[in-house]
A and B are shown apart, each in its own frame.
Chain A
């Protein structure tokens, strides 16, 4: 029956409930006041009519067997008011009209002597009449005298209309005040809820501290269960991270051992076929360790990209740092890693993600370009974007389907013989997208080599 059942807005529900209550109260208030006013109005008219009739009756005397009526002036002045109410009267002796309006009806239907009242229609107007009876003895004969006084109800209707207006205003005022209070109550109830929601949603994905928002006692169980959920989530995440670290450790350490022994053995053997197998072994180890590393990185990148935590990232030092770090690797192939940046460029992003993307792109350039060629890394900007361009003089991307290389495990058809997992460009592409940027891969125009551009929106 109640239309605003859960789910829905608590605030709306509470406000509507309070508003409905206020409307009903206002209506009841209106009805009580109005009917009370109406009753008081009617009663006071009746009292005056009765008093008027009494004073006329009091002025009725029996003089030498005849009934004489000397209607006092006050009998009508007491009925006088500002509005043009008209007054009618009639005096009868045993039902026979003595004076007044002969066709004015009587309010009396019984034989009693107390005042009787009635509302009648007389000459097309609504009239309130009062009839008073007295028994007198005229020459020894008991005679009954009826005095009927009538008055139109214009003044009363006028007063009632005024009261009606006031009551309606009062009702509306009451409703408006209640409505205001209802909205405030709804808001303050919803506010404590939304404060809690805000204190939870404002936090970054890494923030798993318990919630300590001030909440009403009814909401404390909610906060308590929220905190226990956070605690469990935090424990689960820590376990997962520890597990990944442990798994990587367990896989990579023996791989490192095999690789190191392989290299050492290679230095000691001279038979060509043994050397070939050993080199193949080392390549396979590199392949698997790289795949393992990239898979873990890719999982981490996907996770962080889903709930991106943005902070200002200065690109120039970030790239310079990575270039420095990879320089020893490039130098092993006698490659020159050249870095040029025009000015400081700041983007909003996740430092670790951007580092990961840039490192993968630099890694690729070093891997795929031939020895003794330069790699040019440049950081430029236009109005809204910072662009990192990495140009090498290597084999470039295959003529067809360069864009498909950002797909998972996709590798260029010309990449055979180079160790790779096919995830490097995927990672860089995902990072670019997560930041609202783009990764474009192409071959350098008019020259050999690949040209990769990572564009990120400036802060």
Chain B
């Protein structure tokens, strides 16, 4: 997916770019509203992450101008201000959602997914292996001709597996993706979710294989 990040803080922008790239997204970074204008006139983005306080103006004015021009690229506002006072303004001006800084990447992903689901429907980003299709946006797994709904953690787990088919994924990495930082979980908790996914993948061309002592691997045809 293609993101535009409008954020004037270089260090934060670097970290967000790093993270989104790790997840396999393409991200452009604009340090101010002028650059952001240049980027969106040249490229179509799936989603814009927009900071509010920018050196050359207020992000909400930019958003307002975009909407007035009929551009409806989904926008998630990143705000460092107090949640209550900003909420009204940002959503009223046509933002699809907003997330206060500092944010949890898992929450940001969840919000992006929710916004994209609302805005673009279903057809994009379906990954297929053999008789299995995984639609991350919709949160469904198609096994043969069965369409199986996924819970959020199953969805995120599958995202990791389908993002790196055939590779060994260590358990700690899965823990990071699945659980929030204020939960004290053991790596064994992963087994529960892997077990559920195996059940849903039963009889398909795809399976999750345990690699003893190392982690798991998605075996694809």
User: What is the interface of chain A, defined by CB distance below 8 A to chain B?
Assistant: 244-245, 248-249, 251-261, 263-264, 266-267, 270, 272, 275, 279, 282-283, 285-286, 289, 293, 296-297, 300, 325, 327-329, 331-334, 352, 355-356, 359, 367, 371-372, 417-419
Q: How far is the CB of B17 from chain A (nearest CB, A)?
A: 10
Point out the residues of chain A lying under 8 angstroms from B15, CB to CB. 257, 260-261, 264
Chain B contacts of A417 at CB under 8 A?
A: 182, 184
Q: Which residues of B have CB within 8 Å of A297?
A: 82-84
Dominant secondary structure at the A interface: helix
| Residue numbers in B under 8 Å from A419 (CB-CB) | 181-182
- Chain A residues near B152: list those with CB within 8 A: 331-334
Q: Which of B38-46, B62-70, B103-111, B201-209 contacts A (4 or more CB under 8 A)?
A: B103-111
Q: Which of A249, A255, A352 contacts B53 (CB 8 A)?
A: A249
Chain B interface: which size bin? Answer: 35 or more
Which residues of the other chain, B, contact A296 by a CB distance below 8 angstroms?
82
Residues of B within 8 A of A (CB): 9, 11-12, 15-16, 18-19, 22, 53, 80-85, 87-88, 97, 100-107, 110-111, 113-114, 151-153, 170, 172-173, 176, 180-184
Residues of B with C-beta under 8 A to A260: 12, 15-16, 18-19, 102, 105
Which residues of A are found within 8 Å of B97, using beta-carbon distances?
A: 325
Contacts of A253 on B, CB cut-off 8 Å? Answer: 9, 12, 80, 101
Pairwise interchain contact A285-B102, C-beta atoms closer than 8 A: yes
Minimal Cβ-Cβ distance residue in A for B114: A328
A367 to B183: give the CA distance in the assembly, Å: 10
| B12 partner, pick from A256, A263, A270, A275, beta carbons under 8 A | A256
With both chains docked as a complex, state the minimum distance between the C-beta of B45 and any C-beta of chain A, in angstroms. 20
A257–B51 CA distance with the chains assembled, in angstroms = 13
What is the bound-complex CA distance between A263 and B173, given in angstroms? 11
Q: A217–B84 Cα gap in the complex (Å)?
A: 44
Given A256-B103, A260-B16, A297-B83: A286 touches B22 (CB 8 Å cut-off): no
List of B residues within 8 angstroms of A325 by Cβ: 97
Taking a contact as CB atoms under 8 Å apart, the answer to whether B176 and A267 are in contact is yes
Quick check: B105 and A352 within 8 Å, CB to CB? no
Given A260-B19, A332-B153, 6 new contacts (CB under 8 A): A248-B81, A255-B102, A259-B104, A286-B102, A300-B84, A331-B151
Q: Which B residue's beta carbon lies closest to that of A353?
A: B84
**With A297-B84, A332-B110, A352-B88 as given contacts, are A256 and B180 in contact (CB-CB < 8 Å)?**
no
Check B110–A244 contact: CB distance below 8 A. Answer: no
Of all A-B residue pairs in the complex, the 4 with the closest CB atoms, nearest first, are A260-B15, A256-B102, A256-B101, A328-B110
Complex: chain B residue closest to A417, CB-CB: B184
The answer to whether B82 and A245 have CB atoms under 8 Å apart is yes
Given known pairs A279-B181, A333-B180, the reply for A256 and B80 (CB within 8 Å) is: yes
- Chosen A-B contacts, 29 in total, with CB atoms closer than 8 Å, are A245-B82, A249-B81, A252-B100, A252-B101, A253-B12, A256-B9, A256-B80, A256-B102, A259-B103, A260-B15, A260-B16, A260-B19, A261-B15, A263-B19, A264-B18, A267-B176, A272-B172, A282-B181, A283-B181, A285-B102, A327-B114, A328-B114, A332-B107, A333-B152, A333-B153, A334-B151, A334-B153, A355-B87, A417-B182
Question: Nearest Cβ distance between residue A372 and chain B, in whole angstroms?
Answer: 8
Report the Cα distance A327→B184, complex, angstroms.
Answer: 22
Q: Whole-angstrom distance from the CB of A305 to the nearest CB of chain B? A: 13
User: How close is B28's CB to chain A, nearest CB, in angstroms?
Assistant: 17
A331 touches B19 (CB 8 A): no
Instruction: State the CA gap A379–B111 with chains docked (Å).
Output: 26
Give which listed residue, B87, B105, B182, contacts A263 with CB less than 8 A.
B105
Q: In whole Å, how far is B78's beta carbon from the nearest beta carbon of chain A? A: 8
B97 nearest in chain A by CB position: A325
CB distance from A427 to the nearest CB of B (A): 10
Contacts of B80 in A (CB 8 A): 248-249, 251-253, 256
- Minimum CB–CB distance from A431 to chain B (whole Å) comes to 11
